[in-house]
Amino acid sequence: MFLQYISGPVLGAVIGYITNDIAIRMLFRPRTAKYVFGIHVPFTPGIIPKEKNRIAGAIGGAISENLMNKEVLEKTLLSNDMLDKIRAAVDEFFYTQLHNKETLEQFACHYLTQEEIAAMRESTCDEVAKLISAKLRDRAIGKTIAHAATQHVIDKTRNSMAGKIHAERLIEAVASPIESKLSQHINEVLHDQAPIMSTRIVYAEADKLMSMPMCELFKGHEQQLKQTREGIVSVYRTIISDHLPRILESINISNIVESRIKEMDMEEAEKIILSVMKKELRAIVWLGALLGSIMGTIMTFINI
């Protein structure tokens, strides 16, 4: 009599456990279609391998539209917590460099190759030298220098012993033709020598800058830290607010997720899903056992 009451629930539990366990395994396996005498075996491949492309598209669309959309990302990226992290990162970088004895060139080598640094230095110096050379070749430069020189001579004469005998009047009388001739000579010299002079000066200053320790570059600029930090935060806000839609469009999160899932091996996909939902899937198996046990109990009492 005892076995009659216990056999139904136990058998129902075993059946419920086994059937749910098989059903879960059939989500992933078999991974390919099976044929017997050329006839396709139903439920092969498993549901997930069979619908892999459709599932990939659905997951990609869901993530793009609901989890990684503009509103969600903007809210996260512009949160006070994120902005505080950026400020803290800027502060940390600044104070680290205050004690960094590496030269600017050595510091740059952490991020660029020697060839890239040399190319950037050369192109920058050449552009700056061209701008300075163009300014020096402006004919107004010669006139300005010549006028300043003659005025300096007149002022010096006025304040010297010669000023007491009004010698500056004589100089003022001949200043105009002298100034014109001096301006012409200065312009000729600058026209011929400006490219060489500007290139030599710019490259010398660049070498001096590249050999300067980072701590020296940052020393004395502690007061500018706050302005720099808030400037970086402001630029970051602008980029996120104004350009996030374009960034998301160019990245196309939906396609990235979909392509990654499609490329994923089913064994790898199974491991990922089971690692995330192992507890929940195991609960479904035991729930099958519980339901089977309940149904077995009900059937036992019905048959008595």
Rounded distance between C-alpha atoms, residue 168 and residue 84, angstroms: 66
Mean pLDDT score of the chain: 82
DSSP symbols for 227-261: HHHHHHHHHHHHHHHHHHHHHHHHH-HHHHHHHHH
Contact between 291 and 18 under an 8 Å Cβ cutoff? The reply is: no
Q: Which CA distances in Å does 294 have to 9, 16, 284?
A: 6, 10, 15
User: Given a cut of 90, is residue 39 above it in pLDDT?
Assistant: no
Q: How many CA atoms lie within 13 A of 291 on its CB side?
A: 11
Rounded distance between C-alpha atoms, residue 108 and residue 89, angstroms: 19
Confidence category of residue 163, pLDDT binned at 50, 70, 90: very low
3-state helix, strand, coil in the chain (%, to 5): 85, 0, 15
Rounded distance between C-alpha atoms, residue 226 and residue 228, angstroms: 5
What confidence tens digit (pLDDT) does each residue in 81-92 have?
Answer: 999 999 999 999
What pLDDT, on the 0 to 100 scale, is given for residue 126?
92
Backbone dihedral region for residue 104 (phi beyond 0: left; psi -120 to 50: alpha; all else: beta): alpha
Percent of the chain's residues with pLDDT above 90:
22
87 against 27, higher pLDDT: 87
pLDDT, average across residues 93-97:
89
In one-letter notation, the amino acid at residue 149 is A
User: Given a cut of 60, is residue 121 above it in pLDDT?
Assistant: yes
Q: Before 30, cis peptide (omega within 30)? A: yes
User: Given a cut of 60, is residue 167 above it in pLDDT?
Assistant: no
Q: Which CA distances in Å does 64 have to 133, 140, 209, 258?
A: 53, 61, 47, 10
Rounded distance between C-alpha atoms, residue 125 and residue 195, angstroms: 12
